[in-house]
Structure 1
Amino acid sequence: MLSRGELFDLFDGLAGLPYGGEAVDQRTHALQAAAHAVAAGADDELVLAAAFHDVGRARPVATAHRGMPHEEAGAAFARDHLTERTAWAIQQHVAAKRYLVAVNPAYHDTLSPVSVRSLRVQGGPMTPEEVTVFEAHPWSQDAVSLRLWDDAAKDPRGPVLPMDDLVATYERVVRA
């Protein structure tokens, strides 16, 4: 279990870290995604998935998992410190963007220019076969929800989940 101080250090380490040309830094993006999850009535595991979905970009996590894409590094971190469901949602949040573009062409128009560019690198829309496999997973809608909160968490004036709330959520999940 991570201590309160370790959680604060991890998220404080994201402060000022650019978020690929978006208007928010990595810390604001993470806590804003978590705030969107809370506002949507998500359970604690999904709130943590929202908060930690890009943790693979945090220096200590990226260093521990060199060469891994951020979603894979984040999932590895989550498997060590959170739950399997949280890890799976983190691992699949990029695939969920590819899924949404494949099943809802209008979704593409909601993406930021940065997200459109990264979509090309990430493989573009899923193939029909990939869509079938993705939809068959029992947690696929968790990843879709996470993706939508991720997309919404780019507003420099948007709400953020207070760190004390994040710590309390983390403690509830790891003590369960």
Structure 2
Amino acid sequence: MKLSNSLADLLSASLYREATYHTLDRDLIKMLLRHGCSYYDVVALLSTIMPENSPEEDIETLQSLAPAGSPLQKLNPMSIRAMIPRWTGTKYHTAPIANVVKDIQMKCIARIPCIFTYHSNLNPRNKKSIDDPYVLLVSDKKIVFLDINRRRVYTYAYEMEEHLNDEVSDM
């Protein structure tokens, strides 16, 4: 790797050495944040590099470095939908909003560690089109949901509610 390579190359090289996934370098992420990189930009970039089912340790690292957020009391469809203020009807979104809300709720109920990005309008033909990316970080202990463009953080700690409703609610 050359010194002139991008930050994406550096993060990718630190995660994938010798074609094998290695855990996230917490010190590297902290150094980037300390030197002025936006947490939201770092997570948005990492969400394109890290595998969806990343080790829980990596997810918890990203969760622990998140700015203070708005705590959620419930993980029902209404509260999930409220975290997503803009969703386009274009064919370039991740899925229809009802499916996205249900997917987020199912991932949260499953409590399987993951990092997942949802896009409101990721148009590959028009890079100037406005896309609202949202990143979901799920660990066994809590959930962090990021609205990348608006720089908002929503958190849900499983301790707040002993048992999640195991049934996925209909919209």
For normalisation by structure 1, the TM-score amounts to 0.25
Higher relative contact order, chain-length normalized (CA < 8 Å, sep 6+) = 1
For normalisation by structure 2, the TM-score amounts to 0.26
- The structure carrying a bigger helix percent of its residues is 1
